[in-house]
A and B are shown apart, each in its own frame.
Chain A
């Protein structure tokens, strides 16, 4: 106990010293989020790079990964303390990364020593930005129906096919990708491979969404050469890796249901547009009641997230529990943005104006509608909960 108290004191002192002031400000737009990668441009925001490098040097972009792979080698208790102390000073996440949240855990479990050493350190330092090649035009909720093929060509595979909804494929350096290596079976014919997006034959095309943004791409593979050394796990056992990784993706998406620490944009926004009455209550009593009941669930879900992480780190979480977290967190996030739109009124409808920060509010609202579709729809999560946790019959 004394050791942890001392660790907290040291952590607090180090963060105080090393987290740049600008990195303690709330994230206002996508430009404030650091995704790392070969093409990251820090010219407008050198503090982002400074902060990430300092944290990475200490292993604190991934505190609980082993030191050999760029992590901090910290216990669950220490990791929790680091997170709490970062939250205390409202420090931003130093590095947002599918490499950290999705690929890393899968490589730690299924990767060869060579793969871990090659990729994990570069993920931890934010040098390589990853994207995920899962969904295809005819393989959405039924992901195992995927058809992108990888043909055996001796020391490498030749990959052909198309992926869709590939997040930030146009900005990513490498892709982790599900490919079909056996057409005679469904789940049992899928393999998990890694390759560089600069390999000849890879091309991407952004998809314009209802929000006006293009965070997703179509990704095309035309005779792409992938070395066999880049196969993760066994041949035709990629579905196991994929499921394990999806658990981590759901965990990450579920985090969207959490209110950010400190200020609450829903409550602040409602007070700003609607105002308080003489008793200090939001002047629209019906909206106030809706927000208050929403906040009960949002705060309780914050506690659930803490419980889930604690159970996960101690190996006590049900393996299908990420589906519950993903379902609840994304539905909450959608509800939050509906309330933010209601609170914003006609101000929240402006699509391009300066007053609306270029329509940040309505665009974010529309973006949340994908939360309950991507990473497995809410309905797919409910199926998983029903079958694997409640053990209801097929």
Chain B
């Protein structure tokens, strides 16, 4: 398979590009922030996503979805990133859907239609500390009656305060640091003894700190195998890491495009500042880093779609490379805009903030570089 978008994927990209730019441009995010919106995204927009068919991209046609793959999901995510659109798409249509694919037919029958229709939103309760360390999961899940009782804390749960469904990683055996003994749960939002504190993040999105104070769930809330949730969790994380890479690529590309345009418009000393070689070389270097990152993201998506054993390492490469390249994009973006780049009125600063959040989500560049090193035995 050639490493570029095929005709159908290109058509989908054009559709997503037009749709997201029209319905959820950067100004949409800004208006939610200015209104101090408590949800963090627009439910109307989420239903419009559903009408476009986007929500079911990874869901099989038998289950009412489009039966497409990670490349196609990434195409939509890139446009979300480019427009800084607040959306539960990554957590719901990628994360929860991939997790539930490892679950039971009943679980899929319960949630897939609601995701496809835009009725339900999901959140991923994985992290417990300030850094992404899924193997260090310590939240307890003890046998209780016919099910389990969950006790512990989760953080950085994007829109966890309003999600209808939570995908939760908890420990049914073993000790923190071990991959064995982790179990994935599908927890509905109305579960007793579950509380969420929404925190507004740097980029104006909302993530929840969540407390599970003996949350009781039935045995049928378990996704896949008890104690053997690592495989399903890894599969979900591979998908969300590739997805976060694609969204971040859109953020970086948006910042780069804005910056290159600015270099052509802004005049100082009587000439466009883009005629200065000092800035040209920096812009050209940035372009190179972004091109390399784009290749890595597409390669990881293609390998995920092919269910290739090399996919996991490719995802590490993609998330780390995109983190590095887009960090450069937003930093150069603000610097090359000069003083106006520091103002709230101008959008380039929002790109910097969004990049920072996506870079941290599901592991930063250091986390993934370390994982690659471990995989290579050093």
Contacts and interface: CB of A to CB of B under 8 A. Distances in A.
A29 interface: no
B363 interface: no
Interface string B1-43: 0111000000000000000000000000000000000000000
Nearest to B293: A300
Interface string A317-337: 000010010011000000000
Interface string B236-277: 000000000000000000000000100110000001101101
B104 interface: no
Given A382-B280, A394-B275, A296 B295 contact: no
Interface residues of B, number: 46
A312 to B, nearest CB: 11
Contacts of B324: 293, 296-297
A131 B291 CA distance: 32
Given A282-B378, A303-B296, A304-B292, A310 B369 contact: no
Interface stretch (B56-64, B73-81, B217-225, B281-289): B281-289
A289 interface: yes
Nearest to B378: A282
Contact of A324 (B281, B288, B366): B288
B122 to A, nearest CB: 30
Given A293-B365, A296-B369, A385-B288, A288 B317 contact: no
Given A300-B293, A303-B3, A393 B275 contact: yes
Contacts of B285: 327, 382
Contacts of A280: 374, 377-378
A291 interface: yes
B14 to A, nearest CB: 16
A327 B376 CA distance: 27
A293 B373 CA distance: 9
Interface in B276-320: 277, 279-281, 283-285, 287-288, 291-296, 298-299, 313-314, 316-318, 320
A271 interface: yes
B284 A288 contact: no
A291 B292 contact: no
B176 interface: no
A391 to B, nearest CB: 8
A189 to B, nearest CB: 27
Given A304-B291, A392-B274, A296 B3 contact: no
A393 B264 contact: yes
A192 interface: no
Given A295-B373, A324-B291, A382-B284, A392 B263 contact: yes
Given A271-B378, A304-B291, A393-B274, A385 B284 contact: yes
Given A288-B378, A303-B3, A382 B281 contact: yes
B376 A264 contact: yes
Contacts of B370: 292
Nearest to B277: A383
Contacts, number: 144
A393 B272 contact: yes
Nearest to B373: A292
A328 B291 CA distance: 10
Nearest to B263: A392
Contacts of A278: none
Nearest to B257: A390
A328 B368 CA distance: 21
A92 to B, nearest CB: 23
A288 B281 CA distance: 30
Contacts of A303: 3, 292, 295-296, 298-299, 314, 317
Contacts of A300: 292-293, 295-296, 317-318, 321
B291 A386 contact: no
A130 interface: no
Interface in A295-309: 295-297, 299-301, 303-304, 306-308
B288 to A, nearest CB: 5
B357 interface: no
Contact of A386 (B3, B283, B372, B377): B283
B171 to A, nearest CB: 22
A28 interface: no
Contacts of A267: 376-378
Contacts of A301: 292
Contacts of B275: 392-394
Contact of A270 (B291, B317, B378): B378
Contacts of B291: 304, 321, 324
A311 interface: yes
A324 B287 contact: yes
Given A296-B321, A300-B317, A307-B295, A281 B288 contact: no
Nearest to B369: A292
A173 B292 CA distance: 38
Given A299-B317, A386-B281, A392-B260, A314 B2 contact: yes
Contacts of B287: 324, 385, 389-390
A306 B292 contact: no
A390 B260 contact: yes
Nearest to A394: B275
A276 interface: yes
Nearest to A268: B378
Contacts of A385: 284, 287-288
Contacts of B292: 297, 300-301, 303-304, 328
Contact of A299 (B4, B280, B366, B372): B372
A324 B15 CA distance: 29
B61 to A, nearest CB: 21
B378 A276 contact: yes
A327 B295 CA distance: 16
A267 B369 CA distance: 14
* Listed residue (B283, B313, B366, B378) with the most chain A CB atoms within 10 angstroms of its CB: B378
Contacts of B368: 296
A276 B293 CA distance: 30
A308 B291 CA distance: 10
A76 B280 CA distance: 34
Contact of A291 (B277, B320, B373): B373
A288 to B, nearest CB: 6
Contacts of B366: 289, 293
Given A292-B372, A296-B321, 10 more contacts: A264-B376, A281-B374, A299-B321, A300-B295, A303-B295, A310-B3, A311-B3, A316-B4, A324-B287, A392-B275
17 contacts: A282-B373, A293-B366, A296-B365, A296-B368, A297-B324, A299-B372, A303-B298, A304-B295, A307-B4, A307-B294, A379-B281, A385-B287, A387-B280, A390-B260, A391-B264, A392-B260, A392-B264
Name the 5 nearest CB pairs between A and B, nearest first. A386-B280, A385-B284, A304-B295, A300-B321, A292-B369
